Structure 1
Amino acid sequence: MPPTAVSERAARIRFRRALTLMGFTLVVPGSAQLLAGNRRVGRIAVRIWLVTLLVALYLGVRLLVAPSYALQLATSPTFMLALRLYLLLGAIAWAGLFIDAWRIGQPLSLRLQHRRAVVGINGVLCFSVVGTMLFGAHLAGAQRDLLSTFASGDLGGAHAGRYNILLLGGDSGSDRWGLRTDSMTIASVDARTGRTVMIGLPRNMSNFPFRKGSVMAKQFPKGFDCDGCYLNGISTWAGDHRDLFADSEHPGVDATIMGIEGITGLDINYWAMVNMKGFRRLVDAFGGVELTVRQRIPVGGLGKDVTGYIEPGRRKLDGHDALWFARAREGSDDYSRMARQKCVMTAMLTQISPSRALTNFQEIAKASTAMITTDIPSGALGDFADLALKARSQKVSTVSLVPPQIDTARPDIDKVQRMIANAIARAEGHAPKKVVTAKPAAGASAGTSGAADGGRDVVTGGSLGSRNDGYVANETDDVAAAC
């Protein structure tokens, strides 16, 4: 064989060897070192890789058997910290193995074109693998930052088999956030099945009692009966009398809970304050939400000009429009707005896609951090996420303490508590089901059909029903059918 041919063949062999070493490093980190380098380093790397594969296999089988286990991992700050450190250290170590594999391939012995190819391929492999691991570490860090916004501790006990979580909605402006809440809803969740009853409280309720023995009950023994005192004004009053709540980090919320417990007779387990602007960002992060728009919903108002409308029809709304669908007051009343809010909450519960959460996790984590202030402990998140998955496949009930059932100026507290008890009993299967449908009212504007019975019903303020006859989504055992 001519010397030139021998030289060419030797060059190709060296080039293939260099590529093979890099390929082995990609498939089994440390294998290149076992073959031609520092075998001690290779053994350590291969063992770590095998342990990683075994752990991944175990987790895969575990998740197939119990999918909710993924939620426990995703809501564990300890696991997220361990995962982040593993990915960071793994990225550095794997990059070192790629560089060492390039060295073992003796690049200086290669021809120039082969040397350039090896450098390029090694660089692409190295940066691809390391970049992916670093991005994973970033996501784990973002999730841990989100979990850090929750209080420390574990899930507390349920009350009569249910967890009662108060959801408060407000604006993020410095003149409003934490002062007056736009919406107040209790999500009463069955601790075993996840079956949920949403209890809506009007912000303009007055003359109601506080929980017996509470600070507010001592200040208002006859109820919240002062001039201009409404349910959404309790937090403002508490803020002006912080000395009465010396041990409280959130006196406005604590005082509001005292009022809501006095009204409903329920014990509140936890609360969550939802920033409306953060909610808008969250809806966008999940790719929007589908809602039935029954009338033109104005965008704007609330002391400013109306800038447009959300047109009727079955529509996928982005965060901006979903927020205005829930908040719009122009041409409607507070009670129709409460009904629309129930529709948005139910749609979010039933339509949120776990796959979408994975693909847009970073933005969702940022939006969630900006959206929520809560006393829910981080140790309870896995349990609540599991209950939320169960709730997705079930009907959601609502009962709202609004006209025509309740006079918000002078509420009949005994009737209020009977309504709540009956709604919970029906949700738990202890009473006949009741689905309230809207009744046609003289002079009311007609809208599109969509009630549970399929007939044409009154639509007022964008919600099925009217103030006189009741808005369907405010009191029903199936909110989805009413929306």
Structure 2
Amino acid sequence: MAFTLLAPGSAQLIAGNRKVGLVALRIWIGLLCLGALGLVVSALDHSWAITLAFNSDLLLLLRLGLFAAAIGWAALFMDAWRLGQPLTLGLPQRRAVVGVNGLLCLSVAGTLLFGAHLVGVQRDLSIALFGNTAVSGAHDGRFNVLLLGGDSGAGRWGLRPDSLTVASIDAETGKAVLVGLPRNLENFPFRDGSVMDEQFPDGFDCDGCYINGVSTWAEDHTDLFGESETPGVDATVSAVEGVTGLRINYWAMVNLQGFKDLVDAVGGITLNVRQPIPVGGLGDDVTGYIDPGKRTLDGFETLWYARAREGSDDYSRMARQKCVLNGFLQQVSPQTALTNFEELAEATTGMFSTNLPASEVGRFVELGLKTRSQKVATVSLVPPKVNTAEPDIDEIRQMVADAVASSEGSGGDDAGTTARKKRNSTVTGGSIGSRDGGYAANESDDLSSAC
């Protein structure tokens, strides 16, 4: 039994069926070599390992292999016990050997079966989360990902997004710029040639039409979008592209109600709460406050930190949301994700949607690791620089281009902007700055310092 624990098949090779022993031992040695090779390649190319971890076909094969290994190894233990001729032992020794054999069978098979369960969870996560769209190459050396937050229910991604942020990431260095768009932006154009551009050639200039209402309009006119499964998101993407001048590679949407489960799954996020943040308000009763200080907030508290508008405004809330994004980036490491894997998978499935292909996950995890080691810049299309009712689109696109150029070290004056914001000691709605003077986290070359 000890031989079987260390080298499955060795007991049969020595004292039993040699053919069975040779097959089992060869499989064991082959798996060890394959595992060692995988570790070496993974150490040299992390993205390769991550890509394999989201390959549903490979995960299914691995899961079936773990099931087979659990059954086969347990059978080898039982056969090894038989080969030891337990009936020749005294009753106390025989009972001890039976107990040891049972413990070994349960431990080894149980571990493999639990591994098969985790692989199944990972496979379900990969199938549920990631899209089957074509891989999109970098535009001008950058990947632009639209991040959306909405109050939709599980699987209903067409409702109004309350939060719109473009993460523009350098494809080589990972240096990132977060471009924030206010939900009440009006009178803006759509990307040339898009479905929405054909419907609104003069821009989205109808009465009460805001950028967060584009999705709802599209969901009411799904026949215009052919076989698209996400017309609301498609329309919103064309709006964001028309406003910023950036080409969006991929999008990701999180349900804000499910967002709190995501935070809880990673053990909370540490944020700098500068003022008491109300829980509730704006038509509902304020039921409490999040106390000031540098605190680790749970999912419920983080959700209200990001959403609260009682006593503040949309733009203060946008600044706080960027601080939440930065907190996730800086604090949720791969080790944290692995440690809380099952909780993360449960919180994410049904509450998160994206068109990022599974084959690109490795690339973006690598970029994320590069991003978190550098300063993250921000630019937001909000007052006082932008009139959200009558925006100057050319000026907006120049703001975005300058922020990207400054991030790449090829121009702009964002460092000066950050210094001016830091001198403003006003705190409004929990964010440094004010509506008229601008909020530090909404326009900064170092988001961490602004938060």
Q: TM tier, shorter chain?
A: over 0.9
Report the residue type matching 1:481 in the other structure. S
Report the residue type matching 1:479 in the other structure. L
Q: What is the CA-CA distance between 1:39 and the residue it aligns to?
A: 1.2
Task: Choose from 260, 264, 276 the match for 1:284.
Answer: 264
| Residues 456 and 211 of structure 1, relative CA distance in 2, 3 Å threshold | closer
Q: Which runs of 5+ in 1 are unaligned?
A: 1-21, 441-450
Task: Choose from 49, 53, 57 the match for 2:36.
Answer: 57
CA distance, structure 2, for counterparts of residue 346 and residue 174 of structure 1: 25
Does structure 2 conserve the Cα–Cα contact (< 8 Å) formed by 1:292 and 1:314? yes
Secondary structure in 2 matching 1:57: helix
Q: Are 1:144 and 2:123 matched, yes or no?
A: yes
Q: Are 1:245 and 2:213 matched, yes or no?
A: no
Does structure 2 conserve the Cα–Cα contact (< 8 Å) formed by 1:404 and 1:468? yes
In the alignment, what sits opposite 1:473? 441
| Residues 208 and 135 of structure 1, relative CA distance in 2, 3 Å threshold | same
Q: What is the CA-CA distance between 1:172 and the residue it aligns to?
A: 3.2
Give aligned-pair identity as a percent.
61
- The equivalences for 1:210-359 within 5 A come to 210-359=190-339
In the alignment, what sits opposite 1:104? 83
CA distance, structure 1, for counterparts of residue 165 and residue 412 of structure 2: 24
Report the residue type matching 1:109 in the other structure. T
Secondary structure in 1 matching 2:358: strand
Task: Choose from 150, 159, 165 the match for 1:185.
Answer: 165
| Residues 38 and 77 of structure 1, relative CA distance in 2, 3 Å threshold | same
Greater mean alpha carbon deviation, residues 263-272 or residues 413-422:
263-272
Number of residue pairs the alignment of both structures matches = 449
CA distance, structure 2, for counterparts of residue 376 and residue 431 of structure 1: 31
What is the CA deviation profile of residues 102-135 of structure 1, one whole-angstrom value per residue up to 9, with x for unaligned ones? 1112222222211211111111111111111111
Q: How big is the alpha-carbon RMSD for the aligned residues of Structure 1 and Structure 2? A: 1.9
- The equivalences for 1:114-125 within 5 A come to 114-125=93-104
- The equivalences for 1:386-425 within 5 A come to 386-425=366-405
Report the residue type matching 2:54 in the other structure. T
Q: What is the CA-CA distance between 1:432 and the residue it aligns to?
A: 4.7
Q: Which runs of 5+ in 2 are unaligned?
A: none
What is the CA deviation profile of residues 50-77 of structure 1, one whole-angstrom value per residue up to 9, with x for unaligned ones? 1111112222223333444432332332
Does structure 1 conserve the Cα–Cα contact (< 8 Å) formed by 2:154 and 2:255? no
Secondary structure in 2 matching 1:357: helix
- The equivalences for 1:438-457 within 5 A come to 451=422, 457=425
CA distance, structure 2, for counterparts of residue 60 and residue 241 of structure 1: 50
Secondary structure in 1 matching 2:411: coil
Does structure 2 conserve the Cα–Cα contact (< 8 Å) formed by 1:154 and 1:378? no
Does structure 2 conserve the Cα–Cα contact (< 8 Å) formed by 1:169 and 1:276? yes
Task: Choose from 347, 357, 379 the match for 2:359.
Answer: 379
Does structure 2 conserve the Cα–Cα contact (< 8 Å) formed by 1:439 and 1:469? no
- Bigger Rg, structure 1 or 2: 1
How high is the TM-score relative to the length of structure 1? 0.89
CA distance, structure 1, for counterparts of residue 442 and residue 220 of structure 2: 33
How high is the TM-score relative to the length of structure 2? 0.95
Q: What is the CA-CA distance between 1:415 and the residue it aligns to?
A: 0.6
- The equivalences for 1:83-98 within 5 A come to 83-98=62-77
In the alignment, what sits opposite 1:460? 428
Does structure 2 conserve the Cα–Cα contact (< 8 Å) formed by 1:196 and 1:397? yes
Q: Are 1:428 and 2:396 matched, yes or no?
A: no
What is the CA deviation profile of residues 300-349 of structure 1, one whole-angstrom value per residue up to 9, with x for unaligned ones? 23543222211111111111111111111111100000000101101101
Q: What is the CA-CA distance between 1:79 and the residue it aligns to?
A: 3.1
